A and B are shown apart, each in its own frame.
Chain A
Amino acid sequence: MDTFQGIEIDSLSNIREAIKEGVFSLPDLVDHYLATAEKHQDLNAYVSLFSAEAKERANNLQLAFETDPTAAGPLFGAVLSIKDNICLAGAEVTAASKILEGFESLYSATAVERLLEAGAIIIGRTNCDEFAMGSASEHSAYGPVKNADAPDHVPGGSSGGTAVSVQCGSCLIGLGSDTGGSVRQPASFCGLTGLKPTYGRISRHGLLAYASTFDQIGLIGRKAEDLALCLSVMAGPDEYDMTAAKEPLPASEIKKTAGSKRFCYFDFCVDHAGLQREVQDAFRRKLEALKKAGHIVEQVEFPWRDYLVPAYYVLTTAEASSNLSRYDGVRFGRRSPQAKTVEEVFDLSRTEGFGAEVKRRILLGTFVLSAGYYDAYYGRAQKVRRLISDHNQELFQKYDAILAPTSPILPWKHGDKDQDPISVYLADIYTVYANLTGIPAVSIPLERDSESGLAIGMQIMTNQFEEDTLFSLIALENNLPEK
């Protein structure tokens, strides 16, 4: 586990205690993280480290802390990485795309601004799939990210760099984005906890858009209480994002819950052609353990199983095809040096700037919005989304939470699925549900595969804006007697 100066630094409370006791200082901790990041360069988790800025900020925060310990922000001691699709003023942000080569953001994302105000330090930006499109962090202009548990395996994606930055011990928490599982699946692949809050819980201002009605900033870490604290800091309405919810903020601390809870899981979560035996067994064992502990655990039918992934890809690619139109080589980012006419500026800059997976999704999205196809694809997918959302509301009348595996498959070896994008899309089956319905979902470590040692994760999902319940259920699950 992560230790520094003999202290387990896997939770913010331990870190703050150690700084308070003088075991180490915040600048010491930042140096340790930076050294760890350097040591694990081969994992390719970071696109760049903000070494000088992080050190300077650590010095200032430490000094302020020593002057007046009571004035320290709630996130004093928390060092975070951010995915390369989240803006920090003055820092490059490229969404791991060649098309944004050298682009520096003029402003900070609302989420980042709130973290900094609360005393957090941003240590670097992390590698990911280009424009958050991918499930393995292999589609990156900076090359693939490697899983620290097994470097020949993928760390998941698209927030793979964020997951690995935490996994290798170079920061406490990482910020990612989750459009269809991009925070939860890499957390699961790296044996960590990954939270996708309710859609709209955290402002998207400063998050490079993939699919506007799905995107949500999420968190990867080790301790649920740290994620809850960070979430409470970042959450809330924002004048720069109309979709940022005005709902009451989630609590900064996890509330204990007791008694019998009502869980359900979909039939296809235990019985599905694409479900790997190891995952299936681990998930079943957990269901049994919950039952044994006195909880209600019921299987429910889900009539739209086969529409989940198609509806998700139709809608997200449609939105993406439009959201990515601004990358045209005219005002910022990379302009093709070949271009001689206005048309060529658009054509060549985009042809040269975007990678294959992004192009695939732009083409797909353009197609489903085209005259004559709109109703058959986009219109129908919207109807599916509405049906699923309505059904979801009914479910939460009866149950406290929905359980599901995070990924139907274990982390695979680099390059194994290059020729088969559809199978990778289909592996999103358990995660896209939360994005289609907008509900919060967390992936928590379940167990490790006995043979390969690779991590297996499970999701807990609660109704919209019920992150507090979600966190209390994580705590409850952690304390199951079988564990």
Chain B
Amino acid sequence: MRVHMKYETVIGLEVHVQLNTRSKAFCGDATDFGASPNSQVSPISLAHPGTLPRMNTRQIDSAIKLGLALGSQFPEEIRFDRKNYFYTDLPKGYQITQDAKPICQGGSLPIRLKEGYRDIRIHHVHMEEDAGKSIHDQKEAHSLVDLNRAGVPLLEIVTEPDLRSGAEVDAFMTAVRQLVRYLDISDGHMEQGSLRCDVNVSVRLKGESVYGERCEIKNLNSMKFARQAIKHEFKRQTELLENGQKVSSQTRQFHPENGTTSPLRSKEDAPDYRYFPEPDMPPVPLEMEKIKSLAKEAGTLPWEYYNTFHDTYGLSAEAARILSETKETADHFLRLVQQSENKQKQIAKTGSNILIQHILPRFPLLEGFPLKPAQTAQFCQILVAKIIPTRAAIDVLLPAWIKAPESDPEQLIAELRLNKQTDTDELRRALTAIVQAHPKEKAIYKGGKRNLLGFFMGQALRKVGKHHDPGEVRKLLVELLEA
């Protein structure tokens, strides 16, 4: 194993993002996941004679949104190309894609690693259409083809070889998933195939500046498989090099059953796709105005939220990560803090604690959480101002408010008799009763056995419970015992 320490893995990714447009990339067919086979196919999806493609502006908008987030350059014209090959699930016998002029060129995506954020350079992002699905092993002597997915719009994100480990690939995919959800251009479900990646892996001696020969591993549909494949490739390639052999440039196939890869084809056997400009869709100018208006609409990005939470509000890295996880959480938290004109840092601290410890565990990603940010902010102010005891607020007020989000918290406090003022009288009465019920113990206490306070505290807490601040209870008890 020690010998492997000399090497490093160099990884580049091709990530396919399935967009959440209502219709397909080049025709009006629906794109719902899980529809019965071949139910979302018109003559255009089926490539019937005489049918032609037309552009879906939502695919283009999605690509521009992503490009804006990545800081990419945009071309002056939108052009599509054809990639020609025969396959049962490719109805036209070619895929409409972008070869010569991808919609986004360059840019970078920050990924979060233990040591902080690191920018991964993006080579380009291009638009294309998905193929259908072929199933060759379900029916003897027959292949089954489902063309529902044929023509569904995809963006392919191609990175520079900037990743160095499975964990970094993991972080990259997490960042992509988070970003596409933030931008609302894809549901980002890896298990449904909305995010898929091909991994290019090579190895080289640490400190070396030249890249090694790389292998492409196709269609890894889970992060676990991607990590396994990378691990296997690292081992395989370093062993080859250690044995004085060369790594040959190949496309390889991953075997989920044992975590290994095997060659699919060598680069020399790579099919000639005969790319050429899509003649049915002439180039369309990409208007600056369109880019500007999409830029104007663009919301805050995950890493921007993270930085605000961490740097401005002083949250811990972990808290900032959790709260910037989804747009909904981040937005809620940010608006919560912005509600308060002063003590923002304190409100932020209280708010992040409340959200992370008490609200998110019950409402993951805030789904179904009924309180508005202004209400959560109000709740935090109640806590900060110690209007009622913390425990009472968290254990009684918050659940009650969640149940009746329309309520006024002041009224709830009164109804639930959480108010501190009336509370003190009540507490005094309750504690007086306890003290009066134990005259013997009181006498012993007064006689100097101060540790009997523990006995009274136990009694008191059992009786008045969490409605009261323990410090308060102790103070009052001492006063009563010494009276």
Q: Chain A: residues with CB nearer than 8 A to chain B?
A: 86-87, 93, 95, 100, 103, 105-107, 109, 204-209, 211-213, 239-243, 318-319, 321-322, 324-328, 330-332, 342, 345-346, 366, 369-371, 374, 378
Smallest beta-carbon distance B92→chain A, Å: 5
A342 lies within 8 A of B88 (CB): yes
Q: Which positions in B face A, CB cutoff 8 Å?
A: 43, 46-55, 82, 84, 86, 88, 91-94, 136, 143, 145, 272, 274-276, 279-282
Chain B contact surface mostly: loop
Cβ distance B58 to chain A, nearest Cβ, rounded Å? 16
CA A106 to CA B48, docked complex, whole Å: 9
| Bound complex: CA A103 to CA B50 (Å) | 13
**Would B86 and A370 count as touching, CB distance under 8 A?**
no
Residues of B within 8 A of A205 (CB): 50-52
The A/B interface has a contact count, at CB < 8 Å, of 101
A93 proximity list for chain B (CB < 8 A): 49-50
Find chain A residues with CB under 8 A from B53 CB.
242
Q: How far is the CB of B88 from chain A (nearest CB, A)?
A: 5
Q: Which residues of A contact B88 (CB under 8 A)?
A: 330, 342, 345
Taking a contact as CB atoms under 8 Å apart, the answer to whether A325 and B52 are in contact is no
Point out the residues of chain A lying under 8 angstroms from B47, CB to CB. 326, 331
Q: Is the CB of A322 within 8 A of B276?
A: yes
Asked if B276 and A208 sit within 8 Å, CB to CB, the answer is: no
A210→B49 CA distance, assembly (Å): 11
- Please name 26 pairs of A and B residues whose Cβ atoms are closer than 8 Å in the assembled complex, sorted by A: A86-B50, A87-B50, A204-B50, A206-B50, A209-B49, A209-B280, A212-B279, A240-B51, A241-B54, A322-B93, A322-B94, A325-B84, A326-B91, A326-B93, A327-B49, A330-B145, A331-B46, A331-B91, A332-B46, A332-B48, A342-B143, A369-B275, A370-B274, A371-B272, A374-B274, A378-B276
Asked if B54 contacts A242 (CB within 8 A), the reply is yes
Interchain CA distance A95-B43 in the complex, whole Å: 17
> Are B52 and A328 closer than 8 Å at their CB atoms?
no
Distance (whole angstroms) from the CB of A4 to the closest CB of chain B: 34
Contact: A106 with B43, CB < 8 Å?
yes
Assembly CA distance A319 to B84 (angstroms): 11
> B48 to chain A: which residues have CB within 8 Å?
105-107, 332
Residues of chain B lying within 8 A (CB to CB) of residue A211: 279
Contact assessment for A369 and B276 in the assembled complex, using a CB-CB cutoff below 8 Å: yes
B94: which A residues are within 8 A, CB to CB? 322, 325
Contact indicator B43/A240 (Cβ below 8 Å): no
Take A331-B46, A342-B143 as given contacts and tell me if A326 and B92 are in contact as well, using a CB distance cutoff of 8 Å.
yes
Q: How far is the CA of A209 from the CA of B92 in the complex (A)?
A: 12
In the bound complex, do residue A325 and residue B50 qualify as a contact, i.e. CB atoms below 8 Å apart? no
Query: Which A residues lie within 8 Å of B272 (CB)?
Result: 370-371
Q: A93-B50, A208-B50 are in contact. List 10 more A-B contacts (CB 8 A).
A: A205-B52, A209-B49, A242-B55, A243-B281, A321-B274, A327-B49, A331-B47, A332-B49, A366-B274, A369-B274
Would you call B280 and A243 a contact (CB within 8 A)?
yes
CB pair A87–B49 under 8 Å, yes or no, is yes
Chain B residues with Cβ below 8 Å from A86 are: 50
The residue of chain A having its C-beta at the shortest distance from the C-beta of B51 within the complex is A205
On whether the beta carbons of B52 and A213 are closer than 8 Å, the reply is no
Closest 5 CB pairs of A and B: A325-B93, A212-B279, A369-B274, A326-B47, A206-B50
User: What's the least CB distance linking B249 to chain A, in Å?
Assistant: 16
Residues of B within 8 A of A209 (CB): 49-50, 52, 280
**CB of A384, distance to nearest CB on chain B (Å):** 16
Q: Is A242's CB under 8 angstroms from B281's CB? A: yes
B419 smallest CB distance to A (angstroms): 66
Nearest chain A CB to B118 CB, angstrom units: 36
A209 to B52 Cα, complex, angstroms: 9
Q: For B55, B92, B279, which residue has the most chain A Cβ atoms within 10 angstroms?
A: B279
Cβ-neighbour of B49 out of A100, A241, A319, A321 (below 8 A): A100
Contacts of B50 in A (CB 8 A): 86-87, 93, 105, 109, 204-209
Q: Return the chain A residue nearest B284 by Cβ.
A: A242
Contacts of A100 in B (CB 8 A): 49
Q: Is the CB of B282 within 8 A of A243?
A: yes
B84 — which chain A residues lie within 8 A by C-beta?
321-322, 325, 369
Complex interface: chain A residues within 8 A of B276 (CB):
318-319, 322, 369, 374, 378
| Residues on the B chain within 8 Å of A206, using CB | 50
Nearest CB of A to B176, in Å: 31
- Beyond A330-B145, A369-B276, whether A242 also contacts B49 by CB under 8 A is no
Contact yes or no, B52 A241, CB < 8 A: yes
How many whole Å from A177's CB to the nearest CB in chain B? 11
Which chain B residues border A342 with CB–CB below 8 Å? 88, 136, 143
In the assembly, what is the distance between CA of A331 and CA of B275, in Å?
A: 24
A213 to B48, CA, bound (A): 19
Chain B neighbourhood of A213, CB < 8 A? 279
Query: Which of B49, B82, B143 has a CB less than 8 Å from the CB of A103?
Result: B49
Name the residue of chain A whose CB is nearest to the CB of B43: A106
A206 to B50, CA, bound (A): 4
How distant is the Cα of A211 from the Cα of B274 in the complex, in angstroms?
Answer: 16
Give bound CA distance, A366 to B53, whole Å: 22
**Complex Cα–Cα for A243 and B93 (A):** 21
Which residues of B have CB within 8 Å of A107? 43, 48
Residue of chain A at shortest CB distance from B26: A242
A319 close to B52 (CB less than 8 A): no
Q: In the complex the two chains form, is B49's CB within 8 Å of A95's CB?
A: yes
Report B-chain residues with C-beta under 8 Å of the C-beta of A332.
Answer: 46, 48-49
- Complex interface: chain A residues within 8 A of B281 (CB): 242-243
CA distance A345 to B136 in the complex (A): 14
User: Bound state CA distance, A243 and B275, in angstroms?
Assistant: 20
A204 partner residues in chain B, CB cutoff 8 A: 50, 52
Which residues of chain B are near A328, meaning CB under 8 Å? 86, 93
Give the CA-CA distance A87 to B275 in the complex, in Å.
29
CA A202 to CA B272, docked complex, whole Å = 34
CA distance A109 to B47 in the complex (A): 15
A325 touches B92 (CB 8 A): yes
Best-buried of B43, B49, B53, B136 by chain A (most CB within 10 Å): B49
Is there an interface contact between B49 and A326, defined as CB atoms closer than 8 Å? Answer: yes
Closest Cβ of chain B: how far from A318's Cβ, in Å?
A: 6
Residues of B within 8 A of A374 (CB): 274, 276
Contact between chains at A325 and B86 (CB < 8 Å): yes
Complex Cα gap A331–B46 (Å):
7
